[in-house]
Amino acid sequence: MKRLIEGFEQFRNDVFPAQREVFRQLASGQSPHTMFITCADSRVMPELMFSAQPGELFVYRNIGNIVPPYAQHVSGVVAAIEYAVKVLKVKHIVICGHSDCGAMKALQYPERVKDMPSVAAWMMHADVARYVVAQNRPNLLGDEGLRHLTEENVVGQLEHLRTLPAVAAAMAAGELRIHGWVYDIGHAELKAFDAQQGRFVQIEPGKFDVPEATPHARFAAPTATAA
Ligand SMILES: [Zn+2]
């Protein structure tokens, strides 16, 4: 624990005084623009990756960046999404997978989690990725197989996300946009799912118009524009 307490001392002595006004405002409320759902993996640090300030990102992390489909499983992540959309009124939800993901390796090699019944049961929510890859690219193994599983898991979780009524309603009203990304730890690269093209594309430096996975807003006001 010494490492953590030392780290907190450093934060309190160096970071906090420099942003005292930010923390004073945040003490009584939050208004994050984005909900960021990613893996619990210790190497994925959303606030660090996006140079985010406190109060900007509503982060939810679990093994495999999974969102169980509506009505199948009441979970922390589903409750957090509902809260983020209905109360915090986030403008964006990002589901972000990552390279070298242990959860995706468990999909690839299910025998590795046979002694972890809770993990194995949780990973059933990602079985769509395993099945899609097995049906379409049955001979893909190793790193290439892992990459496809990681991408297909993000696509599958985006589809689950769309089954949540609060999410579906906010997207239909043009008030919420959804995004599927994959982060490469070793190269500091991001790929985004382009739902129109049906593939992941690299997010290039200086290019801010990134592809997304938001369906057409059927009830959007004519003047509504993307945030
Ligand atoms: Zn992971």
DSSP 82: H
Residue 219 buriedness (CB in 10 A; 0-12 / 13-18 / 19+)? exposed
Give this prediction's pTM: 0.94
Token output for 78: 């589903």
Q: How far is the CA of 103 from the centre of ligand 1 (A)?
A: 5
Q: How far is the CA of 61 from the centre of ligand 1 (A)?
A: 10
- Is residue 212 included in any domain, yes or no? no
Specify the number of domains making up the chain: 1
- Is residue 214 included in any domain, yes or no? no
CA 118/CA 158 separation, integer angstroms: 23
**Inter-CA distances, 56 with 29, 76, 87, 99, Å:** 12, 20, 15, 24
Token output for 133: 């890859």
What does the pLDDT look like over 50-62, one tens digit per residue?
999 999 999 999 9
Please count the CA atoms within 13 angstroms of the CA of 53 that sit on its side-chain side: 14
Q: How far is the CA of 97 from the centre of ligand 1 (A)?
A: 7
Q: How far is the CA of 129 from the centre of ligand 1 (A)?
A: 14
Q: How far is the CA of 161 from the centre of ligand 1 (A)?
A: 18
What does the pLDDT look like over 10-35, one tens digit per residue?
999 999 999 999 999 999 999 999 99
Q: Is 73 helix (H, G, I), strand (E, B) or coil?
A: coil
Q: How far is the CA of 176 from the centre of ligand 1 (A)?
A: 25
Single-letter code of the amino acid located at 59: V
Q: How far is the CA of 66 from the centre of ligand 1 (A)?
A: 10
Residue 166 belongs to a domain with what CATH number?
Answer: 3.40.1050.10
Query: Which residues span the domain enclosing 187?
Result: 31-202
- Is residue 224 included in any domain, yes or no? no
CA 32/CA 141 separation, integer angstroms: 39
- Is residue 138 included in any domain, yes or no? yes
Tally Cβ neighbours within 10 Å of residue 14: 9
Strand ranges, E, within 99-224? 177-184, 189-194, 199-202
- Is residue 108 included in any domain, yes or no? yes
- Is residue 110 included in any domain, yes or no? yes
Q: What is the mean pLDDT of each run of 10 residues along the chain (227 residues)?
A: 96 95 95 98 97 96 96 87 98 98 95 94 95 93 94 98 97 97 97 96 91 89 60
